Amino acid sequence: MAHRVTFIPGDGTGPEIAEATKRVLDASGAEFDWDVQEAGVDILEEAGTPLPDSVLESLRSTGCGIKGPITTPVGHGFRSVNVALRKMLDLYACVRPCKSYEGVRSLYDDIDVVFIRENTEDLYAGVEFEKDTPETAALIEKIVELDPDARKDIKEHAGISIKPISVPGTERIVQFAFDYARQYGRKKVTAVHKANIMKYTDGLYLQVASEVAERNPDIEFEERIVDNMCMQLIQKPELYDVIVLPNLYGDILSDLGAGLVGGLGVAPGANIGDGAALFEPTHGSAPKYTGQNKVNPMAMMLSGVMMLQHLEEWDAAKRMEGAIADVIREGKSVTYDMKPNRDDPTAVGTSEVADALIEKMRVAA
């Protein structure tokens, strides 16, 4: 039976890598009934919004989607299609695997870590107050009242952000991490925090994470302070397995993890909630390369592998990831950024990477 899946090409170079990914998914052995939906700057003038209601309706109906990257305007306009999708569909878990593939230039060759980032709370909730407004002035007065040692000049020209961390939000993301570890045969969950300084927000996160760990005794649990975690990931990343983090730390450390395995070109991602899951590459839309058949589609293709696993198409997922690993290892049918010399004339285009993967799967069948 075909899986009904929402397909969002995106904008910039998104449509090119999305189409290449769709062709590979169609050749993986799984069957799909694609519901194509447009979102992003390319649809803005026609629809009056970069996120038409039809996109949300489709994702609520199918419960599963895959999307190309979408441009976020800098400094003005719609805040972010990606953030809006996560909030409106309550996609509270961002899952970003960082895995070494032979043939990718990297300082390490044995990394297999999954970052699970809480998607809805923390400083990224966007509860901010602009400087020099009455609301901000009232908040600053309260800060000074609560903390007599606060710098008195905080009263002048300060912006304020509020960091909400809740018990329910923490419970569900940490439980998600344990469930993920169990489903994928992983042995350990590490909770990351700064509870030594932020005792009532990160302190709550650590307390709740520890309580959830007690309910999941079959999986090892440990905690790390975020700055120490950064050092540990550089010095001995092999010690870590599943890492669960609040929103801001998760955003930063998952990019650090991508750097450990060769960059965002091999960094897939997913945003998952109780009612829907949306798979996408971690990188942006690179609009300056639009239409050049040049950009690396591997991150979106690896996101496609994650989608196959989510749909329990295990054989298709194994087949597709195996073909990706083979093509990367051989180093022939890869884009310029995956060549030892980025000016290598033997580099292929986005579409040709898909052709190579499809042929690999055909031969292996």
pLDDT at site 73: 62
pLDDT at site 353: 98
Residue (of 308, 299, 362, 276) closest to 31 by Cα position? 308
Residue (of 260, 340, 326) closest to 298 by Cα position? 326
DSSP state of 288: G
11, 35, 122, 251: the active-site residue: 251
Residue (of 262, 177, 165) closest to 207 by Cα position? 165
pLDDT at site 79: 62
22, 67, 99, 194: the active-site residue: 194
pLDDT at site 151: 63
92, 101, 124, 249: the active-site residue: 124
Q: Does residue 205 have an active-site annotation?
A: no
Domains, the chain: 1-98+266-365 (3.40.718.10), 112-116+167-260 (3.40.50.2300)
Q: Does residue 240 have an active-site annotation?
A: no
pLDDT at site 159: 84
Q: Which residues of the chain have pLDDT under 70?
A: 73-79, 148-156
Q: Does residue 194 have an active-site annotation?
A: yes
pLDDT at site 288: 93
Q: Evaluate whether 316 touches 308 at the Cβ level (below 8 Å).
A: yes
Would you tell me the crossing angle of helices 14-26 and 314-330 to the nearest 10 degrees? 120
Q: Does residue 227 have an active-site annotation?
A: yes
| H or E element that contains 287 | none
The 10s digit of each residue's pLDDT in 309-360 is 999 999 999 999 999 999 999 999 999 999 988 889 999 999 999 999 999 9
26, 33, 53, 227: the active-site residue: 227
Q: Evaluate whether 311 touches 30 at the Cβ level (below 8 Å).
A: yes
pTM over 0.75: yes
Q: Evaluate whether 39 touches 68 at the Cβ level (below 8 Å).
A: no
